[in-house]
Each structure stands twice: as structure tokens, then as C-alpha cells.
A and B are shown apart, each in its own frame.
Chain A
Amino acid sequence: MANSTVVVSDKWLAIACSRCYVVKPRTSFPAFPPSVLCTHDSNVCSECVSENIQYQLALFPTELPFCPSYGCVRKVEVPLPSQPSGVAREQEFESLPRHPSTTSTPGQASGKAVQSLQRESRHHEYRKAISFLVTVSPPSETVPSTQPSSNRFDKRVDVPEIIEPVAETAPSPVSSHDAQIQLLACQICMEDLLSKRYSRTKPSDKCRHASDVCRRCLRRYLKTQIEELGNVSVRCPVPDCGEEMSYSNVKKFAKADVFERYDALLLRKNLGTNPNFVWCKNPKCSSGQIHDSIAGASVIVICAQCGSKACSHHDIIWHDGLTCTQYDEAKSQKRGREAAVETYFSQHTKQCPQCKSPIEKISGCDHMTCRPPGGCGSQL
């Protein structure tokens, strides 16, 4: 099936509701999209519109409900018990975020006037159309079944006192921001999330785009990047952005264990850039120290933590009883397992031109990445 719209006859047009996904006749859909500002068609069936709006009203009685169509963030004009004057409402609409296609540039001033006229007429017609769908009970009556407790009910009675001062005085930016609940789709999981409940924030401080990614996705993204790919310079997941996430932001968004791993990887990467740094070779010790390899100094590094010895020249456990030259000689005559490893390395790996680590092509084309944490991350 190529399209969800099935024409049976001119009058009987069936459309799949974008909320319940049930194919219903055209007559089961409102004549206009829920909000006058909606840029999409009326794609949610009357049943779903009514159900969703009642649900939203029950949850947030003081807020205008959002359009029930997924991804649409326009507010729906329904008569609330505490409706302020029409003028104030109109202003509220003007201040709402606009879809790019409805935003006018100065040159389109006349177009804007026409648009707003059209919008108003649509708006009134829609209000008529929706009036039978959404029955908002006056405060004294029992509210729809979605109302869970009398506590909510009390809140509803309080509405006029709360909202009227706000409507009359010029809204201060802080209070209106606090009160605004936005339903936006996360760019990654595509769930519609209430900004109030599911806090959304920019991955990097330098990001210039809107906060498009929810915390849950960001946490999962950091987990894959850090734990699976060993990447310590994580970039914002929004493709056109790519700003690097700072240490504090990784700390803010990642889970504690992921952040611990990140911290360790970052430390290892930064210490790795210091040629004089020697890790303790005792597998049970995670210490390391700077060993100045000035000419004439001892090549034996004694771990300050556990006391085990290492050779700073070969970067291995101290070869007991052998000097470095003797060790090299012995190594050239080595046999058995060590020799097999050596042969494998010489046959299957090449040295990364940047960091000289042995690298092996796992899959794919000749475009290779020297993968961190062992590698330097350079592309070759």
C-alpha cells in the first residue's frame, strides 16, 4: 500500500488516523486541524482529538491543550473554565512558536494579513466544529472520567485565581517560561515528550540548535560512544551540529559508570601523550608515574604504589637479570608462543602512521580508523 488515503467514492474518503492508526471515513475527522496554527491536515479522528484533549485538560487544567497530532506543538483553542478575554488569547497565539512556513518575513506583510484573516475564519469554524467533541465541564460539575482524584478537582476550582493575574498584567518572561509546557518530539527516539516532565537540554554548550534530544537518548548515546567505541571526544548527536561535548556536559548526562569509564579513558589518553609516562606493569595495580628518561638515568621504574619494577626502555615488566641489550638479544632468539604472536603481528597488522600502534583491518573498505582507546583515532 503506497498511501494511507483510500478513495472509495467521492463522499466516502477513508483516512488512517495518525493517533490510533485506524482507517476511518472522512466524516469521522474534524473538518479542520485541531489548532488554527496547525500546518498539517486534519489527520486525527474526532474520537482521538476529544479523548486526548480531555486527557490533557485533566492533567493540566490551567494550560491550553496541545494539538493531538504527533509532532505538532500548536495549542488548541478550547473554552477553558477560566477563559481570559479574547484579545489576551489572540496575543497568546501570536507569541507561540511558529512553523517556519507560517513565519512571515517583513516583505510578506500583506501575505501575513491575509493569512491571519484566513486563520481567524478557520479558527471560528473550528471552534464550532470542536464544541460538540470537547465538553469542558464548568468547575462545579464533576469532571470527565479521566479526572483521577478530588485533588485535581480542587486545582481546577482554583484556576481563575491563578490565571487571571497573569492574563491581566504583562507576562514577565520568567513566569511565562515556567508555566509553558511544550510537547516536542525528540529527534532520536521520536517520542513526544513534555518538556516539564522529561527535561530536554542541549548536548553541548556550544550547540546553536534547539534542544532536540531528550536526556534518555543522550544517555544511551554516550553509553555507546564511550563504552563500545571508546570515544572520548563525543560530539553532539545532531548531524548538522557536531559540537564536541565538554567534560562537564558528559558528567551531567552520562550514567555514573559510563562517566567513570570516560574519565579513565580521558586520563589514559592524556597521559599517553606524555612519552615519559610509564604505567605500572603489575596487572593488579592501576598506578603509573612520570619517569624522566634522561641519558644515563636508570631504566628501572619502581612503582610508587606497589613497588613492582618496570623497564622504561621496553615498556614491559623489568627483565630480571638481563640488561636491556641482553634482553634484546634474547628476544631475537625467542620461540614458542611469543614468536607466534610476533609472526601474527607482522603478517596481519601495520603500524598506524600517527601513533605507531599495530593496527589490523577488521572489516570494510581501505578507509581505516585507528580506534581508541588503544589507538589514536586518526583516519588513514
Chain B
Amino acid sequence: MSLPKRILKETERLRNDPAPGITAVPHEDNVRYFDVTVEGPDGSPFAGGNFHLELFLPEEYPMAPPKVRFLTKIYHPNIDKLGRICLDILKDKWSPALQIRTVLLSVQALLSSPNPDDPLATDVAKHYKEDLKGAQGISKEWTEKYAGKD
């Protein structure tokens, strides 16, 4: 099947006009599969980290949301140990007018504002709720340990 123009255009824009702190490069053998890096936002415990993600555009895209997963280990209440992300726009709030770019910006925003009230990693969320400083300390530690710039 030929590649929809939408994917071509998005890929091109991601390459020519990347969002700050975000890169998304399609695989040579599968243009629907992207290697993504997101820089941890300043002012968050993830600052200075370079997080690797994978992003896949299913056949139904843009009617169905892209599948996004963290490959770098991260201590975050809305991201579980397998890297799955709890983000409304990746599920029921998905709209076909959203794009790879907006999704990745939302992921980056999720890093600056964790939401322990809607947790995916329950233990991390509990830690965040009970001892915010301590939890953020671990997030920072993990960032330095696993998401150091290479």
C-alpha cells in the first residue's frame, strides 16, 4: 500500500522543522516506525535526560492513535515499567487532527506535570503522593542513571 500523504508530510515536517527537544526519525525499512528522543523538560526531575521512545503508526492512522512507548527506564506515575504511557490523547481523547508532533509534545508535557491521581504505575504514584520530594529525587536519579546523554 502506498504511504498516505499525511504521513509523508508529517515526516517531512518533523525532519525540517523539529519541535524543540524532540526528534523523530522513521526507520529505513518501515516508515511507519519512528525512533524518537524526547529531552526531559527543564524544571522537572527529568531535566537533562534524553529519553528514547518508539512510535508506531498503525494502518488505521490517523483514525486510530499512534502507539507510543518509552524505551528508556523512567520513574514516573503515568508510565509503567514496560514504558507504556497513560495519556488521554493516546486513547479515548485521540482525534485524527492530532499529529505525531502534538503527541510527542504532550508526552513531553506529561514529564513536566506527572498526574499521580490517574496512575499507571501505582507504586510510583503512591510514592509521588506521599513523599513528593523523595519521589522526585528517585526520578532524578533514574534520569541520570538511564537517560544520560550519550
Instruction: Give the interface of A toward B (CB within 8 A).
Output: 1-4, 70, 187-191, 212-213, 217, 220-221, 223-224, 237-239, 364-367, 369
B55-71: which have CB < 8 Å to A?
A: 60, 62-64
Verify B5–A189 contact, CB threshold 8 A: yes
Please judge, given known A-B contacts A1-B15, A239-B98, whether A365 and B9 are in contact too, CB under 8 Å: no
Please judge, given known A-B contacts A3-B16, A189-B4, whether A221 and B118 are in contact too, CB under 8 Å: no
B112 at the interface (CB under 8 A from A): no
What CA separation (Å) do A27 and B107 show in the bound complex?
Answer: 41
What CA separation (Å) do A167 and B91 show in the bound complex?
Answer: 53
What CA separation (Å) do A146 and B4 show in the bound complex?
Answer: 26
Whose C-beta in chain B lies nearest to the C-beta of A212? B97
Verify A365–B96 contact, CB threshold 8 A: no
Verify A365–B86 contact, CB threshold 8 A: yes
What CA separation (Å) do A187 and B9 show in the bound complex?
Answer: 12
What are 20 A-B contacts with C-beta separation under 8 Å?
A: A1-B15, A187-B97, A189-B62, A190-B5, A190-B6, A190-B9, A191-B5, A212-B97, A213-B97, A217-B96, A221-B63, A223-B63, A237-B96, A237-B97, A364-B84, A364-B86, A365-B119, A366-B120, A366-B122, A367-B86
| Closest-CB distance, B59 to chain A (whole angstroms) | 12
What CA separation (Å) do A238 and B62 show in the bound complex?
Answer: 12
Verify A369–B120 contact, CB threshold 8 A: no
Q: Which residues of A contact B63 (CB under 8 A)?
A: 220-221, 223-224
- A-B contacts besides A3-B16, A224-B64, 10 pairs, CB < 8 Å: A2-B18, A4-B15, A187-B97, A191-B5, A213-B97, A221-B96, A223-B63, A237-B97, A364-B84, A365-B78
What CA separation (Å) do A239 and B65 show in the bound complex?
Answer: 13
Verify B91–A238 contact, CB threshold 8 A: no
| Closest-CB distance, B85 to chain A (whole angstroms) | 9
Whose C-beta in chain B lies nearest to the C-beta of A229? B92
What CA separation (Å) do A56 and B125 show in the bound complex?
Answer: 59
Q: Which of B15, B16, B63 has the most CB of A within 10 A?
A: B63
What CA separation (Å) do A202 and B71 show in the bound complex?
Answer: 40
B113 at the interface (CB under 8 A from A): no
Q: Which residues of B contact A3 (CB under 8 A)?
A: 16
Whose C-beta in chain A lies nearest to the C-beta of B98? A239
Contact partner of B15 among A2, A223, A239, CB < 8 A? A2
Q: Which residues of A contact B44 (CB under 8 A)?
A: none
B101-121 interface bits toward A, Cβ cutoff 8 Å, 1 = contact, 0 = none:
000000000000000001110
Q: Which of B6, B9, B10, B96 has the most CB of A within 10 A?
A: B96
Q: Which residues of B contact A217 (CB under 8 A)?
A: 96
Contact partner of B97 among A70, A239, A364, CB < 8 A? A239
Please judge, given known A-B contacts A2-B18, A224-B60, whether A188 and B5 are in contact too, CB under 8 Å: no
Please judge, given known A-B contacts A221-B63, A365-B118, A366-B119, whether A188 and B97 are in contact too, CB under 8 Å: yes
Whose C-beta in chain A lies nearest to the C-beta of B118? A367
Verify B120–A364 contact, CB threshold 8 A: yes
Q: Which residues of B contact A212 (CB under 8 A)?
A: 97
Verify B62–A188 contact, CB threshold 8 A: yes
